[in-house]
Amino acid sequence: MSIPESDNRIQFPPTPVDFDNVVGTTGQLHDSFPAGGQAPRYDWMRMVLIGLLANQSSADEPTQRRTGTTWFNRTKDALEIFTGSGFVDLAQVLELAAASTDGSTAQVTLASWYADVKAAIASIRPRFTFSGISSADSVSAIPVPQSIQDAMAGIVDDLHPLVYVEGILVDPRLTRFSAGCPSLIQLLGDPLSSNDKFTVVIERFDLMISEDVVA
């Protein structure tokens, strides 16, 4: 990425200050007041004000900073803040809440909240669906398409296959993946007959009820 040449860091080189080289003047409204090379106090104040207005935007870290100083990192096009030991993303210090855990207080920042939400979203298990028609009688295993096998990699233990034959749900206790192999779905009850239409829905189940329920 191309980095703009203008450097708005607050910095104090030896006097007299050559403002043209320090901050850059091309096309800016403050070009002519006060003029560069005047008494240091005017040039320095001018640099401070411009630096503050621009959040010290530059490709390099500010040379003048204190804890709480903001800096627009032009390399990343992102706003950062100085914590005393270094510049960090602003999201790391934007507090959303202070949660109490076992008597202690844990700071919740925008960055930590985002990380938690991202992890929670990643833990959501997707649903996989495919359909087919049996090509023979007494079919007791349905092959799982390779694309679905790849998508299920690493999460098979949390998933269960539901099978519908001619639109009727097969008892979920009678359908399962082949042991240690998600490439086949076993039918433990009645097998498929020739030309039976089936639909398989694979999704997450936290708990499978094994007993019959009387309604």
pLDDT digits 0-9 by tens, 152-199: 877 777 788 999 999 999 999 899 998 767 889 999 999 999 999 999
The enclosing H or E element of 149 equals: helix 146-152
What sign results for the dihedral spanned by CA atoms 161, 166, 167, 168? negative
Six-digit token string for 105: 């207080």
- Give dist(CA 23, CA 5) in Å, integer: 9
Separation of alpha carbons 168 and 52, rounded Å: 69
Cis (ω within 30 of 0) for the bond into 34? yes
The yes-or-no verdict on residue 103 having pLDDT over 90 is no
Q: Is 19 left (phi over 0), alpha (psi -120 to 50) or beta?
A: alpha
Query: Which residues is 200 bridged to in the sheet?
Result: 130, 163
CB count within 10 Å of CB 178 equals 12
Q: Taking the complete model, does pTM exceed 0.85, yes or no?
A: no
Of 15 and 76, the structure prediction assigns the larger pLDDT to: 76
Q: What does the pLDDT read at residue 47?
A: 74
Q: Please tell me the predicted confidence (pLDDT) of residue 95.
A: 86
Residue 145's pLDDT band, with cuts at 50, 70 and 90, is very high
Confidence at residue 212, expressed as pLDDT on a 0 to 100 scale: 59
**Sheet containing strand 128-133, strands side by side:** 128-133, 197-204, 159-165, 168-169
Q: pLDDT tens for residues 3-60?
A: 455 677 777 655 555 555 555 555 554 445 555 555 555 566 777 777 888 888 989 9
Give me the chain's average pLDDT, please.
79
Q: What is the DSSP code string of 45-109?
A: HHHHHHHHHTTT-BSS--SS--TT-EEEETTTTEEEEE-SS-EEEGGGT-EEEEEEETTEEEEEE
Check whether 84 has a pLDDT greater than 60: yes
Most confident range, picked from 9-18, 45-54, 66-75, 90-99: 66-75
Q: Is the pLDDT assigned to residue 81 strictly greater than 70?
A: yes
Helix (H, G, I), strand (E, B) or coil at 151: helix
Decide which of 100 and 57 is more confident. 57
Domain coordinates in residue numbering, the chain: 19-91, 128-204
Question: What average pLDDT does the segment 72-77 reach?
Answer: 92
CB within 8 A of 4, min separation 6: which ones? 59, 74
The pLDDT assigned to 116 comes to 85
> Residue 209: is its pLDDT beyond 60?
no
Cα(163)–Cα(177) distance, integer angstroms:
11
